[in-house]
Each structure stands twice: as C-alpha cells, then as structure tokens.
Amino acid sequence: MTADADLASLRHEELVALVQQLRQQIVKRDQEIEYLKRQLAEIRTPSARQEPVPASAVLEEPNPGSQEDLMAQLENIYPESK
C-alpha cells in the first residue's frame, strides 16, 4: 500500500488528529528556527561591534592559553642556550 492509500483508509477523526499533530510540529519547528536566528544574530552582533585589535597589541600580549602564550612562557622558563 502507498501512503496515499493509507491516508484514504483513515477515519475523519484520525485525519483531524494527524492534521493537528502536523500543525504542532510546524509551530515547533518555526519556534526552533526563530530561536536559531536569534542566536545567530547575537553571535554576529558582538563581532560586528568589536573594534579591530592592532597587530602590535597582539604581538605584545598573546591571549592567555594560546599557543603563542604557552610558547612565550616556555621561552621564559627555558631560555635557549647557544
């Protein structure tokens, strides 16, 4: 049997229940889409407002925990002996 044949065999009450269920799923998905759109807007908004960081500031003070920061700490602790 095909899906169309299955739907044709349903009673009126079953069809009404199916339509209500599908409408609820659509509302839920619409809400999820709006939530994700808001999250995306929040992610994009702060980055657009941030001022660019000058290259000299990045070179002078590496981000804590970054690879550059860890390398700088290691060089301070174990200076190269030549």
Whether the pTM exceeds 0.75: the reply is: no
**Average pLDDT by stretches of 10, the chain with 82 residues:** 74 92 95 93 70 54 72 75 52
Distance in Å from the first CA to the final CA of the chain:
82
For the chain, domain boundaries: 1-50, 52-82
Distance separating alpha carbons of residues 58 and 49, to the nearest angstrom: 19
What's the length of the chain?
82
The C-alpha angle 20, 25, 31, rounded to 5 degrees, equals 125
